[in-house]
A = this chain, B = another copy of it.
Amino acid sequence: MNTFVALDVGGTSMKGGLVAADGTVLLAESRSTGRERGPDAVVTAVGDFAAELAGRAGNPPVAAGVAVPGIVDEAAGTAVYSANLGWRDTPLRALLEARLGMPVGLGHDVRTGGLGEAAHGAGRGRGDFLFVPLGTGIAAAMIINGSPYPGATGAGGEIGHMVVRPGGEACACGQAGCLEVYSSASALPRRYGDASLRTEDVLARAAAGDPVAARVWEEALDALADALTAATMLLDPSLVVLGGGLAGSGERLTVPLAGRLAARFTFREPPPLALAELGAQAAMHGAAILAARALTGSNV
């Protein structure tokens, strides 16, 4: 069975592993991106980590897959823009293929996570669905026919910047009232008034009867229900898979959210909700699939 090198590159750290063609994770480790040394050094660090992993495999890997943040042009193999890593029109796929001497597939982090959930997680066998990681920010991967749909320019899936509260609170993106301002994992402590807390602390206080925490949590659920309703009107997904840090809340998230969706949907049924199954390894699993596709010459 083929073995692939699979990397999920984040802002400060990157996860990497060896993954078999059936999705079995043979090895998984983490490294720093070393972004303080500049964008070229990050490319070198990614290549070094991939080469190190390849060298440790019993069965030599035949291809590599790499998921990166920011704006990604999968077809061109380019990291178009990454605020955190400093990349701008970086031909990452070609650079890594030259470094590793094997085919490389490049993908957007959230879309690649959705691809992982589609193949081995909560979206298995569910056709077209929406994967929505609720982390520091909020984005979505639209899975259509088993693959993430990037939009015309690779900038699709920005559900976190859909305005759900016109004239609402300012967002870092320049708009006001974006979903992300109310419902991201970082929004809860900030809106509660104590950014040093963790999201789960705010939820615990809400459950314990703290009225401010309860209001913040209810507003997060309301905004998320509004955004998922709007997205469903347009996209009609068969399922919504919730991931990211907030999905760790489990039924404390899905039960009240499903209730709000049921109340909002008037002329059709809401899509069912599911929790992501692969957690922090979703994008690594997806990267292994990108590797497999790179081997057969399919870019996306």
Contacts and interface: CB of A to CB of B under 8 A. Distances in A.
A95 to B, nearest CB: 25
A172 to B, nearest CB: 9
A152 B236 contact: yes
Most interface-central of A149, A153, A165, A235 (chain B CB within 10 A): A235
A236 B161 CA distance: 12
A238 B156 contact: no
A149 B159 contact: no
A234 B140 CA distance: 8
Contacts of A164: 166
A252 B161 CA distance: 28
A229 interface: yes
Contact of A236 (B151, B163, B174, B234): B151
A235 B154 CA distance: 9
Interface in A169-202: 173-175
A174 B233 contact: no
Contact of A159 (B140, B150, B234): B234
Interface residues of A, number: 41
A267 to B, nearest CB: 5
A175 B233 CA distance: 12
A267 B234 CA distance: 22
B237 A151 contact: yes
Contacts of A150: 236
Contacts of A234: 140, 142, 156-159, 162, 231, 234-235
A296 interface: no
Interface in A38-76: none
A27 interface: no
Given A226-B166, A266-B175, A268-B155, A233 B129 contact: no
A129 to B, nearest CB: 7
Nearest to A229: B163
B264 A175 contact: yes
A31 B253 CA distance: 53
A144 interface: yes
B233 A161 contact: yes
A235 to B, nearest CB: 6
26 contacts: A128-B151, A129-B152, A142-B234, A150-B236, A151-B237, A152-B237, A152-B238, A152-B271, A155-B236, A155-B268, A156-B236, A157-B234, A157-B236, A158-B236, A159-B234, A161-B233, A161-B267, A162-B230, A163-B226, A163-B230, A165-B166, A173-B267, A174-B266, A174-B267, A231-B234, A234-B235
